[in-house]
Amino acid sequence: MVTRRRKTNITTHKGSINKYVGSHPLRERARKLSQGILVIRFELPYNIWCGGCNSHIGMGVRYNAEKKKTGNYYSTPIYTFRMKCHLCDNYFEIQTDPKNHDYVILSGARRKEQRWDPKENEQIVPEDKDTQKKLVKDAMYKLEHGSDDKQKLVTGLPSLAELEEKQEVYRDDFILNSLARSKFREHKKSEQASLEADQEIQKRSSLSIPLVKEHEDDVRLAGLLHYETTKDSSISQKEKRNQISAALSSCDKLSSHLLTPSRDKKLDMAKRCIAESLLKSKKSVFDDLHLLSSTKSPSSTTTTTTTTIHTPSSITAKCQILGVKLPKGTEKSGKDKFMSSIIPASSDSDPKSDLSSSSNTVSSGLDYLQAYSDSSDEDSDDDSK
């Protein structure tokens, strides 16, 4: 044990050591003791609202408060406590109320009203001392007080009977307990089943978010939806093929009735007709030769017509324009080679009749081609308009 030796120069005429050192036993708590203020720990007796920041401060919160005596109620002192809000710079003061056994807020805050009148709640209100003394000393006052109590009993009987009926319903504790436990058990099972279903959906969909409960509207809308059953690929492919074949057959029927050869096809057909008529001619045709053919009219008058027979050179040029290919060597050969290549020789035929038939065929084919080209141009002009 270590002992400390005090200084020998301390004199006792200054009093205690605290007085000699110039300090107080309460230290900082007594720094305003000369003003009659002592700093203490004060606990709020009820819930309040701060007047500065309008924040709620609960009952039981402790503060460093400045305690000061401000008066007396008979011989009981009245104290005032001043403290600072821990949420703002506002100060509020609370004062004791010995008369009503309560605390009163003087400034800086307001009380959260949670008080009620026991008489309005039909609670038993203890009598004060004056009333108790009067009941003992004054018989008439005691009789009046008893009549008031009987009147309260009569007015409260219906409510008491109703309370007894309600209590009678809950008298059998065992049955009520079993019903409550069975209800809780069913609720627990349903919750567990829904939780397992949610976990299965989360696992299948790789979800990490919690799933909420289903809403009645969502369930109703989901019931109105109808989904089609999926078909096998072979069945769907067969159906598509049947649809395509039916469409093609209908198109063929329509094309046979509605579609007509195009302009190019008609031109090719006309060219082929002219070429065949040229190749079927049997006799040669000479340059600048005129055939005189006579026909008799129904009036037995003789008419003379002049028919121009095209030479091989003009026929070759027109065939080139029309795009008809002649046999090889026709363009370079003479008149005999040209006619012998396209017209087979025959000694039995009549030259004049063969020549007239060939010339008529050629001229009719060219006239048909010219007429068709003119009509095609008119059709194209109408389409463009």
What pLDDT score was predicted for residue 189?
94
**CB distance 327 to 275 below 8 Å:** no
The distance between the two most distant Cα atoms of the chain, rounded to a whole number of Å, is 187
Q: Which residues of the chain have pLDDT under 70?
A: 1-15, 228-229, 251-267, 270-271, 274-385
Where along the chain do its domains lie?
A: 14-111, 263-378
What pLDDT score was predicted for residue 9?
62
- Residue 160 and residue 166: Cα distance in Å, rounded? 10
Residue with tokens 């600072």: 84
What pLDDT score was predicted for residue 112?
92
What pLDDT score was predicted for residue 245?
83
What pLDDT score was predicted for residue 347?
42
What pLDDT score was predicted for residue 297?
41
Give every CB contact of residue 197 below 8 A, 6+ residues apart in sequence: none
What pLDDT score was predicted for residue 303?
42
- Over its C-alpha atoms, the chain yields an Rg (Å, rounded) of 66
What pLDDT score was predicted for residue 309?
44
Question: Which helix (H) or strand (E) covers residue 340, if one does?
Answer: helix 335-342
Provide the 3-class DSSP secondary structure of residue 265.
Answer: helix
Question: pLDDT tens-digit profile of 30-74?
Answer: 888 888 889 999 999 999 999 999 999 999 999 999 999 999 999
Provide the 3-class DSSP secondary structure of residue 218.
Answer: helix
Question: What is the pTM (predicted TM-score) of this model?
Answer: 0.36
